[in-house]
Amino acid sequence: MTQNIIKLNAALSYVKDTFVGKNDVVDLLGICLLARENAFLYGPPGTAKSAIVRTLSKTIKDGKNFEYLLTRFTEPNEIFGPFDIRKLKEGELLTNTEGMMPEASLVFLDEIFNANSAILNSLLMALNEKIFKRGKETKHLPALMFVGASNVLPEDEALNALFDRFLIRINVDYVNPELLQQVLLAGRKLENEEPTEVPEIHANEIKELQTICKTIDLRPIYEVYLNTIMNLRNTGISISDRRAVKLQNLIAASALICGRNEAVLSDLWVLKHIWDTEEQIEILEGIINRTIEKDDHPQSHPQAMQNKTPNPEEVMKDVKILADKWNEGTLSFEEQNVIKDKLRYLQTRCDWIRNPEQKQYIQQEIENLWQKILQSI
């Protein structure tokens, strides 16, 4: 188990190094890969959604990748394969799935909500049960994970069932302005296809880890998990019984990827990514952060540690740095925009500070800086 976990983490680290500022996206894809659950990437064009999945697929040795951009006119043959002409002559209605989705280890469906009724039912069964069914033909899919992507959320109620099949929803946005220079350098390196050694993990090794994932002990967090689900339902976040059962796989995967055989409180960090609407993102962030901040386990998942409730002193320090920079008065237009973006980010972080006096003081300092910025425009 340990060797395979090391291989998987090496593969994820490679993808993180390739795409600066996307650690959360890659970590969540790694969790879904271990749990054999589906992930949905939501964000504007040009945020490297497909490139991240494509690079991750390169690390899976002897696995096949299937990638397709769906349109309203996409036909089942384009996804599942055409009927086998040779078998058709013999009176058998069988699909030639060579090189198509039913044979893929990693499946990426871009603009997933363009799926039409002709492929919707087959797609729903493939996503939920990992089974391809067409007429009398039934085939178990080898897919380790399905990833869907879109720059819009579904508006048609008919697509809600499709959206529900994606257990994790990942918000993929443009990187933080302070990382932009690193992004440009990394992007240049990627476009020039500079040779780098790609770490590999075999598809069967991932399947072994997926089997082990089912044996992770969830008893240490079971009561807190149960209360959290009830709390989220009370706040208006819809979590069906089916999703509540499946979410346990993600918690187990968080423990396994950290090399543990039992879950700890901070493994609940994955629940921050089960939103249905953009408005729910911050609500989940606040509720789950208040839960996982009580955990100080040394082997917590890095994403759990990173997204805990902010330290007021650190936030205040960052605000003062921005204020000092602004007061210098020699900033270019681009540098001014960077400060504004960072200040908006700190303003959001400030919302989650628990101590009301510290929170009010920092909010006032942020407001004072905004006033200075507005007066100088």
DSSP letter string over 158-173?
GGHHHHHT-SEEEE--
Q: What is the CATH number of domain 3-192?
A: 3.40.50.300
pLDDT value, residue 127: 92
pTM over 0.85: no
Each residue's pLDDT tens digit, 29-57: 999 999 999 999 999 998 889 999 999 99
> Can you give the residue ranges of every domain in the chain?
3-192, 215-302, 312-376
Average of per-residue pLDDT values in the chain? 87
Joined tokens for residue 214: 């089912």
Q: Please give the residue that has the higher pLDDT: either 167 or 194.
A: 167
Angstrom distance (rounded) from CA 55 to CA 68: 15
Cα separations (Å) of 233 from 228, 230, 242, 266, 283?
9, 5, 14, 20, 12
